[in-house]
Structures are given as C-alpha cells and as structure tokens.
Amino acid sequence: MKETIGNFLLRRLEEVGIRHIFGVPGDFNLEFVQQLENRGRPEWVGNCNELNASYAADGYARLNGPAALVVTNGVGALSAINGIAGSYSEHLPIVCICGSLPLRSIARRTMMHHTLADGSQDVFLRAYRQVTAAQAQLTPQNAAEEVDRLIRTAWRLKRPVYLELPSDIAYLEIQVPDDPLVLREPESDEERLASSARHIAGRLSGARRPAVLIDMDAERFGVLQEVNELAEKLQLPVATMSSSKGIFSEQSPLFAGIYFGSASSQQLRDLVEGSDCLIAIGHRRVDSTSDFFTDHLPDSVIRLDGYSADVSNEYYEGITLRAVLRRVIDSVPVRQTEPTRHRTVANSTALETSDTPLTQAEFWGALQNFVRPGDVIIAEDGTSSSGGTKLVLPEGCTFITQAIWGSIGYTLGALLGTLKAAPERRHILLIGDGSFQLTAQELSTILRHDLKPLIFLINNGGYTIERTILGLHAKYNDVANWHYADLPRVFSRREVASHVVATSKELSEVLRAVDDSFIFVELLTKPDDAPLGLIRGGHASANLDYGPRGPQSAAGAQIPVPKS
Amino acid sequence: MKETIGNFLLRRLEEVGIRHIFGVPGDFNLEFVQQLENRGRPEWVGNCNELNASYAADGYARLNGPAALVVTNGVGALSAINGIAGSYSEHLPIVCICGSLPLRSIARRTMMHHTLADGSQDVFLRAYRQVTAAQAQLTPQNAAEEVDRLIRTAWRLKRPVYLELPSDIAYLEIQVPDDPLVLREPESDEERLASSARHIAGRLSGARRPAVLIDMDAERFGVLQEVNELAEKLQLPVATMSSSKGIFSEQSPLFAGIYFGSASSQQLRDLVEGSDCLIAIGHRRVDSTSDFFTDHLPDSVIRLDGYSADVSNEYYEGITLRAVLRRVIDSVPVRQTEPTRHRTVANSTALETSDTPLTQAEFWGALQNFVRPGDVIIAEDGTSSSGGTKLVLPEGCTFITQAIWGSIGYTLGALLGTLKAAPERRHILLIGDGSFQLTAQELSTILRHDLKPLIFLINNGGYTIERTILGLHAKYNDVANWHYADLPRVFSRREVASHVVATSKELSEVLRAVDDSFIFVELLTKPDDAPLGLIRGGHASANLDYGPRGPQSAAGAQIPVPKS
C-alpha cells in the first residue's frame, strides 16, 4: 500500500502497542506532530522540555513495553540524550524520533539553525550512537525498512533506538507493507536450546541448595511468568536485586529478599552465596546494586541473559531466555516439599504519632501501612529509593527506581509516563527536594492532564544523599528552599490539594484523608536524617570514589552512622 | 611546584579570569567541589540542573570570556550537552569539567552507576567529541599538560572543551608549573600577515563602495576595537547580523543596520550587496541569520575569520584576525570625508496607552523607550528575539540571543550567567511562556543569589513562533497556563515584586515604578499576535523545512501576515 512516511511511522508505533507519544514540538518536527494530531492516535503528550519527555517515555515503557518520544534537531535531541542513555542503561525499548533537517539542506550542505553551523552533518546521530542500540536517518528509499528495523531492534534488545525523520519527507508517499508489524522473539537454535536446557536441568537435579536471583531483565524480557513457574515447580527461593525490587512477589513464600551484598541478611547471603546452583537472570554487577562489590555470587552460577546462557564451561548462544526457561520448566520434575517461607514478612503495625519533628523512620513506617496492593511506587534515587527499597510490597505492586543510571529528577518525568500507561492504578511518587528541582515543571503536565498521583516530596534541605558521601554541612549540598506545596497552584488553574507536614501526627491526618484525587505532600525532615542504608552506602561510595587520599575522612565530612 | 590536581585545575581557571563556576554536585565530583569550597575561589554557583548550568556558563562567557561548569559522570554530562553544543555553535570558550569514574574503576573494568553498565567506558567522552573542540580524560601523568591544552584550545578557538576528572585523583599531588597560565594568541606568520594586509588594503584603496559586515566572531575574537578603528579611519559603514546585534554601536553614524537578507532595508541591501569591497568578519550563512538564504554577499567579498583571510583568489592561513586588522589599519590612509549617517535612528516617542488588551506592537514600543545605555538585553528565540532585534540599542548595551543554536529556554539560564558576570549592569530578560517552561526552576537560583534582573515574560498561550510555522490552532502548540507571576514567591522566601500586565496602561505604570530591585512582569498578549518579522520568517521556515508537499499551505495552518 501507499502511505506517507509520517503516517507509516505512526501506524507502526501504534501496532506495537504505543498509545501515547511524548515530546516537544519544534520546527523540524511540527509537520510530523501535525500528522499525529490529524491522525488522533497515538495520543500526543507535550512535555515542558525534552529531558522530561525522555523520562516520561522511560516511565511509560516500564509499564507499557515500547514507548516513543519526538524531539527536534540538535537542541531537542541533545536535551533528551541523558534520559535515553538511562533507558539504555536500564534496558527499556524507546524509539526516539528526531524531526531533523530537511534532506534538501543536507544534500545542498546549507547551514541551518539548531546545528553547529560548521558544516558537520551527522554529529547528533553520532552522539546518539554512543547510547542507543541502532540509529537511522530516514529517506524515502529506506524508510519502509528502517522503521521496522529500529522498532524491532528496540524491542528485541530492550534498548532505545534513534531515528531521524527529515522534515521534508514526512508527507511523501512511499510503498509500505500492509501487514501490521508483529514483534516476535527470534526462534532459538534447537540443538543449543535443548543442550542448554538439559545442562541447566541437570545442574538443578543434582543441587542441594538451588536458588534464583533475578535482575531487571527478567521483567524486561517478559519471563516473570516462567520464573514463577520454575520457582513453584522446584520450590526455589527467589531473590531480587535493588534494581529489580518487586518483580517477584514480596508476599510469596518463595521470596527470599533483596540481595544487596553485605547489606543483605545473613540468611539471604547464605542462600545466594552458598547456593550450589544459583540461576542468575539478567544479573549485572554494578557498584550501586551490589552494595559496592560486597556481593559474592558462587563461581558455579548459571547466568541467563536475554539471548544467552552461561553454564559451567559452556556459553550457549542463539537461544532466547524465554525458550530456555520454558524448556527447563518442562523437563524438571515437580519437587514435593513443604513450602518454606524464606523471609519474615513485616506486618502493618499501629504507629505512635507525635507532635515532634517528623523523622525518616516515622515516614517510612507510616508509608508501609499506607501502601496497598496494585500500587505503582516510583522512588527517586537517594533517600527515597533507599527508604522505599525497605518497604515490603503488597501483592501486585510495581516499584520503579533508577538504581543503575541514577539520574536525579528522573522520577517526576517518569511519573507522567506511568500515569499515562496505567491510569487505573494508584501511583505514589517519593522524591526529595534536591531531585525535584531538576524537573519540577513536569508537575504541570501531570496537572494539565488531570492525572491523580500521590506525591510525597521529602524536603530535607538539599542533597542528603550527597551529605552521606561528602559535605555534611557544605553549602554546595544546600538547595533553595522553595514553597514546594504552593507549586501545584502555580501550575494549575484547578483547585488542587497540597499539604506541608512537619510531624507524624500531621502525616497521619493527611494519609487518613487521602482519596483518589491529586495530592501533593511536602514532608519536612532534617538534612542529616537519612535511612541507615543510605548512610552506609554513602560512606562506601566515598571510599570507592575518592580513594585513601580523598577528603571523606575529615571530621564532619559525612552524615555519621547513628549510634544506637 | 607540587599541587593537587584539583587545586591546579581551579588555579588555572582562576588565572584565565573565571570568577564563578556553575554546576550541580554529584558523587563523582563532590571531592572537587569540596576543593572549590575549601579554596573559596572561584565562587561556586549551584544550579537546579545541568542543562541550566550549561546555559548559565554560556551566558557568563558572553560577558566574561572563559567560563566553566562542573557536572557528574554520564547523567550530568549528558544533561549539559545541549548547552555545550550551543556554545560550540555560537563560539564560546567553555570548560566543561566532568567529575568522572575513579581511575581504579576504569582500570578494573568494574561496572558503576551513572554508566551504561555494559562494559563501555568512553561513551560520554565520545558523545562530547561531537560537540567540543577538544577532550581529555585526566590522569596524574597527563593532568599538568592536558589542563593547559584544553583551556588554551577553548580560548583560542572560542569553543567548548570537555575534561573528565576521575574522582580518585583530584587530591593527588603532581608537579605543575608555578607560572600562571597566560592566554596569548598565536603569532602570525610575518609574510602571510604582510601579504594579506597589503592585499586587503589594496582592495580597500581601489574601492568605491567599501563596507564591513560583522558577525559574532568579531566580538568573540576581541577585535571590536579594531573594527571601530578601521571603520572610523576609512569612514566605512558597518552592518551587523541578527546573530551579532549590538556588537557595533547602533548609535554610531557608521552603523548601517542589521543585514538580514531580503528582510533588510533596500538601502542596506544596496550597501552590502552592492559593495565592491565588502569585508565580512566571521560571517556564517545560516538559514536563521540570512532570512532563509535571501542574502547575497558579493562574489568579491573578503572573508576574515579568527585565523584566516580569504581575499580574491588567495586564502591566507597562519595569521590572526587581530593582527590582520591592525596591520590594515596601520597601512591605510585616513579618509577625509563628511561623515554620513547610514541609518535613521528612531527617537523615543511618547506612546499612547489604553485599557484595551496589550499588543506586541505596544510592548515593543514601550520597551524602546525603556531601555537605557549599558543595559544587557537577553532575548529568547522567537517572539522575544524577533521583537528585540528591532530595538535601537542605546550606547553600551549588550544584546544576547541564540540566533543560530536557538535552544528554547536558554535565556533564563543564560541570565543567571550574565548577572554573575556583570552584576553592576542592568539585565533585562525577554522570554515567552513556552520557552520559560523549559528552564523555569533556574529563576530560583537568581533569587537565591539576590540578583536583580528585570524579567518580562510574554504569556501568549504557547509556542507562538511555531504557530507562525505550523499549527496556528493546534493543541500541540498550547502549553499549560501557569500563574507565572506567582513563581517568584514560590521560589524565594524573600519579598519579591511581580506583576501581571494586560494593557499598555498597566505596562506603563509598571515601567514607571521600576527601581533597581528584582522585578518580574508577566505580559498577556494574544497567541496569534507576533512581530511581523517572526511571521514572515515562520512562513519561509515552513517552506524550507517541509517543501511543497508539506502541510503549511492548508487554510489556517499558520499565523497569517497581517493585512494593513
């Protein structure tokens, strides 16, 4: 069939399940955004800036799978690149569409605005090459193939891709396939698949202490069902990482906890480190997810990734994670055993409230009682993620944090994306004042779309995560003390609820009155009050980052570990 | 002498005239920011986010010369890259210092947060390679040389550079030069210099209609004094570009106007296009500065750039712009002639005010009366720069706009930089609502430092510049309608003045009451009310960008050119 390049691209995005597109208009993409407005689908969600758009797309992808954003040449593309790199780091399939210079300008080598104006032509694509899995500049000759290649690559690798759509070709008609684009995993090589599954099943059958450790790729590659089946069938304990909290039910008797190096319980360390058949799915050893390399996976660990299995001395390729797991499940016998609960589950407890200044401990205790099944909890890097990671999640919750990329400000943009992806769920944002300031304006987009998150802004007078590392009393860790709770009324002309909470009693009252409307709560806590895990991590981070000649050992350099 | 790498870098920055450093702390740069805090100089100016920091550094550089910012690995570096690319495009010497992974992590190939966590190690430096003039990763072995090389390169080329400071070496002592770093232009090759100057002087002496056209490099390479001397000596008319407005006094009788292709007056077109000896300094032909390539420089144009002269059939290298101009000045005779005023200077006129809704024309008329000698006027791309470019500047004014890179939101961050560079001057920001939303939070930094700009925010209900191109009534060109004038009171706990102005009468009252305190004025104008130049440019832009198959010709697609 004949179709304009712009409409073909929009159709493809819709066919793979993208219902919303984020972005900022610019003169080199307006013609495409106009096609979107004419077509009516996917829904356009205009952001305040491109970085926020990239965060929104990332958040959207975490609940939806594929996501897309539209930016303009140079200025827009480079503003979004941090968010796209984050999606690469954390394995999310994002299609970044850059409305770029008209082909006529490229061919004629005329200098254009939104460029370096030095004759260079592909510098932005080259920058994106560093942080995306595939890139293309569309032409009428390659568009039909490249659009499909890029979307498929993003989906198969769970990585972002970058696509330049020159502004003078979006309305050109080309021949395109009639059939919808269907995303399919590649077929596995049968021999490699059978061999790897046999190898793994053999290892499992001979094991006395088998266990599973899953990182984010278990979710990204869509094998949580298989993980559950395998764990159930063999009664395997399953641990997650701090970067994958919540992807295995924390209410399951098989859930063994969050494995986080030396910060894990001894029971969990024994279980993981002492396993004679640890199946690690998508595991990456990163300072921030291994408690600064204090983890210790057994040498005999079986490593399963999206398209490979590393088992003993054999490395299997040409297979898919899903096919391997399915084959293993089918080939192992049910283990008949009394189910063991591997972890003590915290029960909600009645909390004392008081009129004394609110502490972090009080807040996280109250939040534990407040969360309910099905919540989407988005926790900013720092105090929020550290405290949030300790929550025992009710059934069906999703926990979102950027544990590896750790770009502060991410979560406010991401919240817009999660809200659009799953408006029927309750979304709770946990964010600090320092982080909030990076992306604050995107709150206005959330209000503009009449979305109803619960936002807890922890105002602790600056970058508390940094104060655990260096500069406890340093000026550079202070931020301006905004009237945060007044912001919703600046950004929206509707009546919106916001509260400033200084004590646990006030917090309790606010939480009791929560309904399903937009709610913004500013929590006042002290700059040096932080979850213990954050403080310990800060000290480890300083030692790793600055070495023995660093300034972290000076008196008063860091938030100290509390005595008690 | 022995010095720590961090202190050496700080000393070098100070030696070349950098009195303020912008940035955002992060765990990989805290140790360096701590050195800065201990040292006390340059002054640390913490920003809300890294993009804003890069804009602030750019604005600072426009008044100060060299500038620097500090970001953290990956997340910070990539957030700032749009601003750095803008500084490349618009020729500003910025040192972007990235507190990066400790060398120990690089050597051991351990995976770290703030990276792609895929084993890659130099992707951010590679991204920066696309948009900077030089890059380096410091080590104890190369730091003494690389720091000087990068700062010199930035200054000589008037381009940004990117420097990675691994977090574990800032406190290591190395041997460094005692002598301060002195920035000197390279010496010219004497024969080439003499030949080029003779060639140019010869062309001038035989010319009947010589003229000068200067773009931003005349300012960046510091030859405005030489331009003035040459123009005075030969009574040459001098035209600027839209990208260099104000660098030649608009009050001078020799000032010929802003040459902007077919949008220029016929008198100016004749003067430039009909010149038989046009000296074009730093001229670049960009769509946005040539009224979409409707300019026409004579084939015989003499092109002088930072380090070259292109004269007739000869291309001179190994020379400096300053040396060539100086030599030409010295070798041409004074032209004895009655000075001609090449341009009618608008006088301030008494304006009628009314209670009817404020128009763009009324605002720009009022502003013409309001500006005074020495003002720094920062005009955001779009309505603001289009209107601002028409102002006739009093003596000693600086006009700042991003006419080539055109990244919206730039000016608010840049304003922080200009205020820090020249706090004794009056700074006037002109910005639209759509642009303001990209970087709004940086207003809080301006307030935090008790700086006193005058901010005029034109609230015209969205992206009016885009409505001139496409989507006159399109939803994608709308933005949320904030209570802009309430923002200063959210960001600051001091008493700050803000006003909402809906009529020329109200505007007149506000302007009359202006003192030297912080003032924020929100101006309400209609979404389809725009300076004529902007509308014409929008139409030209659409035709260039989308070509004959584009959507711009549909009825109601664009703001039409007003009838009258």
A406 carries an active-site annotation:
yes
pLDDT at B563: 82
A525 residue type, one letter: T
Q: Are residues B437 and A49, on separate chains, in Cβ contact within 8 Å?
A: yes
- The residue-averaged pLDDT of A68-91 equals 98
- Of the candidates B102, B447, B486, the beta carbon closest to that of A547 is on B102
Q: Which of B545, B558, B559 is the best residue to mutate to test the A interface, defined by the most A CB atoms within 10 Å of its own CB?
A: B545
Cα–Cα distances in angstroms (integers) from residue B314 to residues B309, B317, B331, in the given order:
8, 10, 19
Q: Which residue has the tokens 């909030």?
A: A436
Average pLDDT score over chain B: 96
Burial A19-55 (b: 16+ CB within 10 A, else e): ebbbbbbbbbbbbbbbbbeeeeebebbbbbbbbbbbb
Residue A339 clears pLDDT 90, i.e. is over it = no
pLDDT at B344: 63
| Residue in chain A nearest B132 by alpha carbon | A116
pLDDT tens digits, A284-318: 999 999 999 999 999 999 999 999 999 999 999 99
CB B181 within 8 A of CB B249: no
Confidence check on the interface: ipTM exceeds 0.90, yes or no: yes
Q: Are residues A471 and B37, on separate chains, in Cβ contact within 8 Å?
A: yes
Q: Does B65 touch chain A (CB under 8 A)?
A: no
Q: Which of B546, B549, B559 is the best residue to mutate to test the A interface, defined by the most A CB atoms within 10 Å of its own CB?
A: B546
pLDDT at B351: 79
Which chain B residues have a beta carbon less than 8 Å from that of A115? 89, 404
At A418 the three-state DSSP class reads: helix
Q: What does the block give as tokens for B397?
A: 């004014």
Q: Return the CA Rg of chain A.
A: 25
- The residue-averaged pLDDT of B357-375 equals 97
- The residue-averaged pLDDT of B173-184 equals 97
Q: Which of A20, A91, A114, A199 is catalytic?
A: A114
The pTM (predicted TM-score) of the whole model is: 0.98
Q: Are residues A49 and B123, on separate chains, in Cβ contact within 8 Å?
A: no
Within B130-248, residue ranges assigned H as helices are 143-157, 190-205, 217-220, 224-234
By percentage, how much of chain A surpasses pLDDT 90? 95
Q: Which residue has the tokens 């703030």?
A: B114
The DSSP bridge partners found for residue A71 are A98
Q: Does B305 touch chain A (CB under 8 A)?
A: no
Residue A346 clears pLDDT 90, i.e. is over it = no
Residue A340 clears pLDDT 80, i.e. is over it = no
Residue A70 clears pLDDT 90, i.e. is over it = yes
Q: For residue A563, what pLDDT band results from cuts at 50, 70 and 90? A: confident
pLDDT at B257: 97
Residue B346 clears pLDDT 70, i.e. is over it = no
- The residue-averaged pLDDT of B434-449 equals 98
Q: What does the block give as tokens for A233?
A: 């069938």
Helix or strand holding residue A338 (H, E): none
Query: In terms of Cα–Cα distance, which of A339, A344, A75 is closest to A233?
Result: A339
Chain B window 265-304: which residues touch A at a Cβ cutoff of 8 Å? 284-289, 293
pLDDT tens digits, A421-472: 999 999 999 999 999 999 999 999 999 999 999 999 999 999 999 999 999 9
- The residue-averaged pLDDT of B140-147 equals 98
- The residue-averaged pLDDT of B82-101 equals 98
At B320 the three-state DSSP class reads: coil
Residue B347 clears pLDDT 60, i.e. is over it = no
- Backbone CA torsion sign across B471, B475, B477, B478: positive
- Of the candidates A26, A36, A111, the beta carbon closest to that of B286 is on A111
Label each residue of B8-41 as H, E or C. HHHHHHHHCCCCEEEECCCCCCHHHHHHHHHHCC
pLDDT at B348: 62
Q: For residue B130, what pLDDT band results from cuts at 50, 70 and 90? A: very high
Q: Does A131 touch chain B (CB under 8 A)?
A: yes
- The residue-averaged pLDDT of A242-262 equals 97
Which chain B residues have a beta carbon less than 8 Å from that of A37? 471, 474-476
Q: Return the CA Rg of chain B.
A: 25
Which chain A residues have a beta carbon less than 8 Å from that of B104? 544, 547
pLDDT at B342: 72
State the Cα–Cα distance between residues A331 and A197, nearest whole angstrom.
Answer: 8
- The residue-averaged pLDDT of B443-453 equals 98
State the Cα–Cα distance between residues A108 and B395, nearest whole angstrom.
Answer: 40
Q: What does the block give as tokens for B511?
A: 């302007």
Instruction: Quote the minimal CA–CA distance from A500 to chain B in Å.
Output: 14
State the Cα–Cα distance between residues A388 and B128, nearest whole angstrom.
Answer: 35
The CA-based dihedral angle spanning residues A127, A80, A148, A158, taken in that order and rounded to the nearest 10 degrees? 90
Query: In terms of Cα–Cα distance, which of A225, A507, A552, A495 is closest to A365?
Result: A507
The phi, psi pair for A461, rounded to 5°, reads: 70, 35
By percentage, how much of chain B surpasses pLDDT 70? 98
- Of the candidates A78, A406, A409, the beta carbon closest to that of B85 is on A78
A462 carries an active-site annotation:
yes
The residues, ordered by sequence, that sit 6+ positions from A171 with a Cβ below 8 Å of its Cβ are: A4, A5, A6, A31, A35, B546, B547, B549, B550, B551
Q: Are residues B403 and A171, on separate chains, in Cβ contact within 8 Å?
A: no
pLDDT at B337: 74
Q: Does A485 touch chain B (CB under 8 A)?
A: no
Q: Does A136 touch chain B (CB under 8 A)?
A: no
